[in-house]
C-alpha cells in the first residue's frame, strides 16, 4: 500500500480486511486467496529453478565433452596445422583449442567385447577438461600420454570387468592395398575411469593419447577428425562461428556451434520451459479469481457501510481506493510470502531431494540415472524471479480493480434500505 494514500483510505482498507461476525466467511476466503497466491508464486519459482538446474546440467554434459565451436571437414579428416591452430587461438573469445581424432572400435578384455568410440586427445587437453577430471571415480590421470593407456567411461570399465593397471585390446581397422579391410590390434593399459552420468559417454567412450592413435591408424601427425574450441562465454558460440567462417574462408572446413548442433534438444527444453511457466501461472490466476470473488462478496456485505460513508461525505474515489488497497494487499502479501517461500525451498532443495529419495526408497545406490533425478539441481535466475513476481503483482492488481469498481455501483438509498 502506497505511503501517499490518505490515512482514512488505509484505515478503511484495514477494517475491510478485519474479521467480523457478518463478513467472517468473506475474510476466511480472502485468507485462502492469499495462501493460493503464495503457493502459486512459490511453485513457479521452485519448478522453474529446478528445470533450470536440470537444463544447465544437461547442456553442461553435452558441451563439456565437446566444444562450443566444432571444426570438421567434409572428407572426415582435418589437417590441424600449427598455423591453423595458432589462428584459432588468436580468435577473440576462444579460451582453448583442442584437436581430436575419433574412430569407432571394439574393446576387448577378459573374453568380453564391446563397441566403443575412441577419442584421441592430447594429454594437456584431457587434463584441462573439467567434465572428465572432476568425475574420475577410479584410477588416476597422471600417466596419460606418457605410455599406451586409456581413460574410459566407468560403465564400460564395469562391463569389461577391468581395473586400473589391467590391459584392454583396441580393435580398429585399416584398408589394405588390395582394397580389403584388415583388423588392427593394439594393447593399452587402463589408467582411470570417469562417471559423467550420461550413458553414451560412460558406456562407450575411451580417451587415447592422440599421437598413439594416429600411429595406430597410420594417420599423419596433423590429421584429426575435429578441432574443438572452448569459449569464455558459451552463448557467444554462434557469433564466434560466424566470425571464423568469414576470417578463414575455407571450403574444406565445416564450422558449427553447439547451439546449431543441438538445436532440437535446446529448442525442446526452451518450449518446455515456456509451457511450464504458462501452465503454472494458471495457479496464480485461479488465486487471483478467488480474490475477485471474495472482495466482490465483501462489497455486497458492506453495502450499508458504503452508503453511510457516502452520506457522511466520503467521495467515490475514497471508497474505490479503500477496496482497491484491501484487495491488492492480499495479492501483494501473498506474492511476497510466496517469493520468500520459493527461495527458501530452492536454498534447501538438495536436502529435500535426499529426504524424498529416502522416503520413496529411490536412493541412487550408484545408479547414474536415479542419482541425476534425486540430486535436485537448482539454478535460481534473478530474471525469472523478477518476471514471476511482476506477473503475480499485475494479476493481483487486476483482481483488485473489479471489486473496487463494484463499490462505485452502490447507491446510498439502496444500501440503507435494509439497514
Place of cell 529448442: 267
Tell how strand 149-153 and strand 181-194 pair up: parallel
Asked if 268 and 51 count as a contact pair (C-beta separation under 8 A), the reply is: no
Alpha helices in 169-315 (DSSP H): 199-202, 210-216, 237-248, 258-261, 263-301, 303-311
As a whole-number percent, the residues of the chain with pLDDT over 90 amount to 13
- Grid coordinates representing 290? 478467488
Look at residue 147 in the predicted model and tell me its pLDDT: 85
Confidence of residue 309 (pLDDT cuts 50, 70, 90): low
pLDDT in tens, 368-403: 555 555 567 788 888 889 988 988 888 888 877 777
pLDDT at 340 over 90: yes
Q: Is the pLDDT of residue 4 over 50?
A: no
Q: Band of the pLDDT at 292, cuts 50, 70, 90?
A: confident
- DSSP classification of residue 379: -
| Residues recorded for the chain | 419
Residue 161, pLDDT > 70, answer yes
At 314-339, the pLDDT tens digits run 566 666 677 777 777 778 888 899 99
List the one residue out of 135, 246, 120 whose CA is nearest residue 172.
120
Across the strands, what pairs with 207? 119, 151
**Confidence category of residue 54, pLDDT binned at 50, 70, 90:** confident
Residues with Cβ within 8 Å of 113's Cβ and at least 6 positions away in sequence, in order, are 106, 107, 171
Amino acid at each position: 500500500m502506497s505511503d501517499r494514500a490518505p490515512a482514512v483510505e488505509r484505515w478503511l482498507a484495514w477494517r475491510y480486511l478485519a474479521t467480523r461476525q457478518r463478513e467472517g466467511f468473506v475474510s476466511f476466503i480472502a485468507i485462502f486467496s492469499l495462501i493460493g497466491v503464495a503457493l502459486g508464486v512459490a511453485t513457479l519459482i521452485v519448478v522453474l529453478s529446478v528445470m533450470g538446474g536440470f537444463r544447465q546440467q544437461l547442456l553442461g554434459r553435452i558441451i563439456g565433452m565437446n566444444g562450443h565451436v566444432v571444426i570438421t571437414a567434409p572428407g572426415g579428416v582435418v589437417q590441424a596445422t600449427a598455423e591453423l591452430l595458432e589462428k584459432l587461438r588468436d580468435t577473440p573469445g576462444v579460451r582453448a583449442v583442442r584437436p581430436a581424432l575419433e574412430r569407432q572400435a571394439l574393446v576387448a578384455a577378459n573374453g568380453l567385447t564391446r563397441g566403443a568410440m575412441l577419442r584421441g586427445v592430447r594429454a594437456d587437453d584431457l587434463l584441462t577438461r573439467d567434465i572428465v577430471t572432476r568425475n574420475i571415480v577410479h584410477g588416476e590421470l597422471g600417466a596419460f600420454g606418457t605410455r599406451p593407456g586409456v581413460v574410459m567411461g566407468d560403465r564400460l570399465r564395469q562391463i569389461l570387468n577391468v581395473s586400473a593397471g589391467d590391459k584392454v585390446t583396441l580393435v580398429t581397422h585399416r584398408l589394405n592395398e588390395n582394397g580389403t579391410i584388415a583388423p588392427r590390434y593394439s594393447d593399452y593399459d587402463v589408467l582411470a575411469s570417469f562417471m559423467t552420468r550420461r550413458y553414451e559417454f560412460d558406456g562407450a567412450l575411451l580417451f587415447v593419447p592422440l599421437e598413439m592413435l594416429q600411429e595406430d591408424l597410420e594417420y599423419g601427425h596433423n590429421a584429426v577428425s575435429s578441432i574443438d574450441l572452448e569459449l569464455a562465454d558459451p552463448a557467444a558460440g554462434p557469433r564466434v562461428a560466424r566470425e571464423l567462417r568469414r576470417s578463414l574462408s575455407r571450403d574444406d572446413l565445416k564450422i558449427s556451434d553447439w547451439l546449431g548442433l543441438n538445436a532440437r534438444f535446446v529448442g525442446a527444453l526452451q518450449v518446455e520451459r515456456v509451457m511450464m511457466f504458462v501452465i503454472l501461472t494458471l495457479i496464480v490466476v485461479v488465486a487471483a479469481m478467488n480474490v475477485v470473488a471474495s472482495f466482490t462478496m465483501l462489497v455486497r456485505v458492506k453495502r450499508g457501510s458504503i452508503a453511510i460513508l457516502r452520506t457522511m461525505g466520503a467521495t467515490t474515489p475514497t471508497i474505490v481506493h479503500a477496496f482497491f488497497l484491501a484487495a491488492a494487499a492480499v495479492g501483494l502479501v501473498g506474492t511476497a510470502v510466496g517469493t520468500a517461500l520459493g527461495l527458501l525451498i530452492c536454498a534447501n532443495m538438495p536436502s529435500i531431494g535426499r529426504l524424498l529419495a529416502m522416503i520413496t526408497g529411490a536412493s541412487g545406490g550408484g545408479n547414474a540415472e536415479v542419482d541425476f533425478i534425486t540430486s535436485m539441481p537448482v539454478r535460481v535466475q534473478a530474471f525469472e524471479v523478477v518476471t514471476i513476481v511482476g506477473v503475480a503483482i499485475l494479476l493481483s492488481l487486476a483482481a483488485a480493480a473489479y471489486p473496487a469498481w463494484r463499490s462505485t455501483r452502490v447507491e446510498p438509498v439502496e444500501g440503507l434500505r435494509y439497514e
